[in-house]
């Protein structure tokens, strides 16, 4: 059987380096490098491909926005403040109207977060956009996927699943206010930079949700050598999604949808309700062992789909 995305990385690219300035390498949302005594450089890169990460026909401005947003989200997951980016563009043709719109979408977000474009590469080929992002975090205060401990609360920001519902809206050409709201949740995810900064020194572990809540929580648990139990009744529910899709589709969007770029994080067991950050929901608990179990009314729930893997198909049972 062909290797999945994460097996490819583990088998061929996850190599130990003796360099003392690599504080955190492959395996988290971004790398952390020692560049000075008081702060750390945080670096991540993400590629989006037409027909894979966004549907053919997506507006250029939305592609520009999204290419940066998904990268900012990885810095948010580390508790870092973004500063620069490089841009690698593979374009089927040189279309000025398209480029103008793409740049407008990209710089709209770049200006909001004061990110400077400092270099890149432009080639002819299928439509593929790669942004590499860098930023800073104060020494010893970056967030990782590996710090969760049994008893910790599992929390999530926003309403996961709305981006996947938005993608379904686009694919089915649905219209109306709820459809438009969900479409924007897919096309214009809001990177949770402020929340990531707020979680420094508070969260025991954090990551962003790009591939699906369950598959991403699996990764956090694997990195933390623990398991988790999700309380299905506690999951945030999307009113707009419920007006357009049936219950089982909505549950699938929340658990396996991906593309949300919300933060998934753990708080210490002793944290109380008043410690939940604004617009975040406690959805479960970290437990000893491994794997993520969904529960409803004290009973385990079987889940059809957990999220996205580029090489294993869409489902990771």
Among 28, 29, 259, 260, binds Mg ion (CB under 5 A): 29
Residues 207-236 close enough to bind ligand ADP by CB under 6 A: 210
- For residues 26 and 19, what is the distance between their CA atoms, to the nearest angstrom? 14
The residue range among 24-32, 122-130, 194-202, 291-299 that interacts with ligand ADP, by the rule CB under 6 A, is: 24-32
| Shortest reach from residue 145's CB to ligand ADP, in Å | 9
User: Which of helix, strand or coil describes residue 304?
Assistant: coil
Return the number of the residue (7 or 50) whose C-beta is nearest ligand ADP. Answer: 7
When binding is defined by CB under 6 A, the residue of 3, 26, 52, 269 that contacts ligand ADP is: 26
Residue 221: name the closest of 288, 317, 310, 302 by CA: 288
The residue with tokens 């957990």 is 306
Residues 6+ apart with CB under 8 A from 126: 49, 50, 90, 92
Q: In the beta sheet, which residues pair with residue 120?
A: 87
User: Going edge to edge, which strands form the sheet with 116-124?
Assistant: 22-24, 31-34, 39-49, 128-138, 81-91, 116-124
13 binds ligand ADP (CB under 6 A): yes
Question: How many residues touch ligand ADP (CB under 6 A)?
Answer: 9
Residues present in the chain in total: 317
Stretch near Mg ion under the rule CB under 5 A, chosen from 6-14, 60-68, 131-139, 200-208: 200-208
Cβ-based nearer residue to ligand ADP, 74 or 252? 74
197 vs 237 by CB, closer to ligand ADP: 197
**208 near Mg ion, judged by CB under 5 A:** yes
Give the tokens for residue 202: 């508070």
Q: How far is the CB of 188 from Mg ion (least distance, A)?
A: 18
Interface characters, 57-96, with ligand ADP (x: CB under 6 A): -----------------x----------------------
Site string for Mg ion, 56-75 (x = CB under 5 A): ------------------x-
Name every residue whose Cβ is closer than 8 Å to that of residue 201 and which is 6 or more positions away in sequence.
141
CB-wise, 46 or 152, nearer to ligand ADP? 46
Candidates 26-34, 79-87, 118-126, 160-168: pick the segment binding ligand ADP (CB under 6 A).
26-34
DSSP label at residue 10: I
Q: Phi, psi at residue 168, to the nearest 5°?
A: -65, -35
Min dist CB 178 to ligand ADP, Å, is 28
Query: Distance between CA atoms of 101 and 140, rounded to whole angstroms?
Result: 39
Q: How far apart are CA 220 and CA 202, in angstroms?
A: 16
Binding residues (CB under 6 A) for ligand ADP: these are 9, 13, 26-29, 46, 74, 210
């Amino acid at each position: 059987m062909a290797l999945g995305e994460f097996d490819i990385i583990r088998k061929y690219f996850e190599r130990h380096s003796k360099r003392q300035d690599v504080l955190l390498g492959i395996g988290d949302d971004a790398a952390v490098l020692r560049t000075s005594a008081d702060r750390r450089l945080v670096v991540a890169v993400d590629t989006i491909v037409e027909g894979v990460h966004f549907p053919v026909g997506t507006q250029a401005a939305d592609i520009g926005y999204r290419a940066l947003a998904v990268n900012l989200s990885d810095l948010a997951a580390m508790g870092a403040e973004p500063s620069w980016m490089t841009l690698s563009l593979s374009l089927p043709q040189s279309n000025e109207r398209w480029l103008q719109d793409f740049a407008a979408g990209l710089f709209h977000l770049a200006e909001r977060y004061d990110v400077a474009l400092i270099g890149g590469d432009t080639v002819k080929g299928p439509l593929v956009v790669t942004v590499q992002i860098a930023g800073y975090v104060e020494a010893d205060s970056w967030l990782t996927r590996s710090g969760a401990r049994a008893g910790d609360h599992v929390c999530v920001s926003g309403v996961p699943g709305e981006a996947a519902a938005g993608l379904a809206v686009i694919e089915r050409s649905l219209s109306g206010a709820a459809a438009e709201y969900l479409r924007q949740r897919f096309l214009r995810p809001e990177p949770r930079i402020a929340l990531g900064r707020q979680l420094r020194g508070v969260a025991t572990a954090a990551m962003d949700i790009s591939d699906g809540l369950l598959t991403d929580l699996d990764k956090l648990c694997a990195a933390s050598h623990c398991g988790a139990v999700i309380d299905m009744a506690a999951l945030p529910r999307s009113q707009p999604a419920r007006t357009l899709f049936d219950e089982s589709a909505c549950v699938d969007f929340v658990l396996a949808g991906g593309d949300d770029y919300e933060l998934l994080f753990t708080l210490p067991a002793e944290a109380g309700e008043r410690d939940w950050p604004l617009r975040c929901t406690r959805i479960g608990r970290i437990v000893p062992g491994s794997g993520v179990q969904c529960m409803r009314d004290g009973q385990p729930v079987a889940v059809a789909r957990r999220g996205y893997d580029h090489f294993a198909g869409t489902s990771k049972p």
